[in-house]
Amino acid sequence: MKISINGLHKAFESRIRLGIMSALAVNNALDFSSLKDYLEVTDGNLASHLKALEKEDFIVVTKAFIDRKPNTKYTMTKQGRQAFEEHLTALENLIKSQK
Angle formed by the axes of helices 32-39 and 43-55, nearest 10° = 110
Assess whether pLDDT exceeds 50 at residue 3.
no
- For 27-49, what is each residue's pLDDT tens digit? 999 999 999 999 999 999 999 99
In this prediction the pTM is: 0.88
What is the mean pLDDT of the segment spanning 74-96?
92
Query: Which of 72, 78, 86 lies closest to 12, judged by CA?
Result: 86
Q: How far apart are CA 7 and CA 62, in angstroms?
A: 29
Query: Which of 99, 90, 52 lies closest to 74, judged by CA?
Result: 52
| Confidence class for position 4, pLDDT limits 50, 70, 90 | low
What is the mean pLDDT of the segment spanning 5-25?
90
Residues forming beta bridges with residue 75, ordered by sequence position: 60
